[in-house]
Amino acid sequence: MQSKIIFLLLVSISCAIALQTVNGRIKITVITTAYCSDTVTFIQNHLRETYSLYSDYLEVEFLPWGRTQRNVDGSLTCQFGVADCWSNRVHRCALDMLKGNQTRQLEFMSCEFVIPITSSYRCAQEMGLNLIDLDYCVSSSAGDHLDTAAETASVASVQIINFIPAIIFNNDQPSRDVSMAAFANLRNMVCQALAADPITGVNTCT
């Protein structure tokens, strides 16, 4: 009786975090905020390695919105204050300029998310982005539509997951359990899912 209950518990836990490929691929959406050290940890210790191993099978999407609140006057309040808001805006603009190359998007975010976290255009410059175009997006209303897009795509998920970085796979319903499992062990989750799909050709997870 007791072992049956334990068995059922284990089944329900593993089902809760089961990840599956879609046509042999996995989409990973990461909701970030600039001054969040957990996001630094996730990008540096988990996402980069997973991407370097399995980039052929991955679509990575960043949503630099975090726990940003929109005030009644339309202004934004960010979890870590004004600098967090500014850097998130830089991230949205730079990622938009890098769209079409997710490897370069990840390189940019890997450059940004290091300790100590700072506010500058250094990483954009290192990526070779046109800083006049970037600054125009950041400082004028030209970048406002990127705010709206990130906000629309993030708010409901952050409410459910209630942790930054918030991680969602394959545009699934957001789940705190899945997100926390990915935060702890992204590489293994991705590898297990790829290995379970014969069309990927991935068959060992070390």
Ligand X SMILES: *[C@@H]1O[C@H](CO)[C@@H](O)[C@H](O)[C@H]1NC(C)=O
The span from the CA of 131 to the CA of 45, in Å, is: 29
Q: Which stretch binds ligand X (CB under 6 A): 69-77, 102-110, 156-164, 185-193?
A: 102-110
CB of residue 127 to ligand X, shortest distance in Å: 9
CB of residue 105 to ligand X, shortest distance in Å: 9
Say whether residue 104 binds ligand X (CB under 6 A).
Answer: yes
CB of residue 40 to ligand X, shortest distance in Å: 21
CB of residue 202 to ligand X, shortest distance in Å: 22
Q: Which stretch binds ligand X (CB under 6 A): 48-56, 100-108, 148-156, 165-173?
A: 100-108
- If the CB atoms of residues 96 and 151 are measured against ligand X, the closer one turns out to be 96
CB of residue 50 to ligand X, shortest distance in Å: 17
The 3-class secondary structure across the chain, one letter per residue, is CHHHHHHHHHHHHHHHCCCCCECCEEEEEEEECCCCHHHHHHHHHHHHHHHHHHHHHEEEEEEECCCCEECCCCCEECCCCHHHHHHHHHHHHHHHHCCCCHHHHHHHHHHHCCCCCCCCCHHHHHCCCCHHHHHHHHHCHHHHHHHHHHHHHHHHHHHHHCCCCEEEECCCCCCHHHHHHHHHHHHHHHHHHHHCCHHHCCCCCC
CB of residue 103 to ligand X, shortest distance in Å: 5
- Packing angle between helix 102-112 and helix 82-97, nearest 10 degrees? 160
Binder of ligand X out of 55, 101, 120, 125 (CB under 6 A): 101
Name 69's bridge partners. Answer: 77
Indicate the residue whose CB is closest to ligand X: 101
Q: Which stretch binds ligand X (CB under 6 A): 46-54, 101-109, 138-146, 148-156?
A: 101-109
Say whether residue 162 binds ligand X (CB under 6 A).
Answer: no
Which residues ranging from 35 to 94 are in contact with ligand X (CB under 6 A)? none
Size of the site for ligand X (CB under 6 A): 4
Task: Point out which residues bind ligand X (CB under 6 A).
Answer: 101, 103-104, 107
